[in-house]
Amino acid sequence: MKLKVCGMKYPDNMLEVASVGPDYMGFIFWEPSSRFFNTTISEIPNHIKKVGVFVDASLEEIINTIKRYNLQAVQLHGKESPDFCKQLKGANKSEINKPKREVEIIKVFSIKDDFNFGQLQAYEAVCDYFLFDTKGKLPGGNGYVFSWEVLKEYPSKKPYFLSGGIGLEETDKLKDFLQRPESKYCYAIDVNSKFETAPGLKEIEKLKEFKKSIE
């Protein structure tokens, strides 16, 4: 199971988190966020993919940020349309990282008590992954878990990230979930606020313990 640690903010802390060995590290480029990132990304190992998190940003802003920080993935956390994702995918192929591999596109959908999975169909061909987060006041980082029972209705074969207030206290529940059929296409676990002492400042020992629990 892959691990994504999102909401990175402080250069020294990035190096500590990198030592834990996550597969992805997320950087939030949405200014209202308490984890808004506008500094320098530390020299982290190449095998850790850098993810830029955006909320209804323009295509130009996303492309420029990808180039500036050498991002390997983008996470779209707003109301981005399938057509917008298609445009990003097109720019991806033509200008962003040529001749390197394409930047991965992760489209986020927020869930509370239920979810209309029919809306995923339009995104199938224009995204690499889906991410399911908890629906709340903010686009993300609300700090609580949605009902994973909803995912029993997941109709797709597209791999997805499971997110939304996941912490050490969810370890047993998570182990149980990962034994169920609905977890077949669960590709990665995304963690953030439950592993912090302050917004953007991660607790390394807790991350180590969590990573070990999902290996």
pTM, two decimals, is 0.93
Contacts 24+ apart (CB under 8 A), 81-87: 82/122, 82/123, 82/126, 84/59, 85/123, 85/126, 85/127, 86/125, 86/126, 87/59
pLDDT tens, position by position, 70-123: 999 999 999 999 999 999 988 876 665 554 558 999 999 999 878 999 999 999
Whole-number average pLDDT of the chain: 92
Question: Residue 183: what pLDDT?
Answer: 96
d(CA 171, CA 87): 38
Give the CATH number of domain 2-214; options: 3.20.20.70, 3.40.50.720, 3.10.110.10, 3.40.190.10. 3.20.20.70
pLDDT-above-90 percentage for the chain: 85
pLDDT range class, residue 136, cuts 50, 70, 90: low
Locate the domains of the chain by residue range. 2-214
**Mean pLDDT throughout 39-64?**
95
Lowest-pLDDT range of 44-58, 71-85, 123-137: 123-137
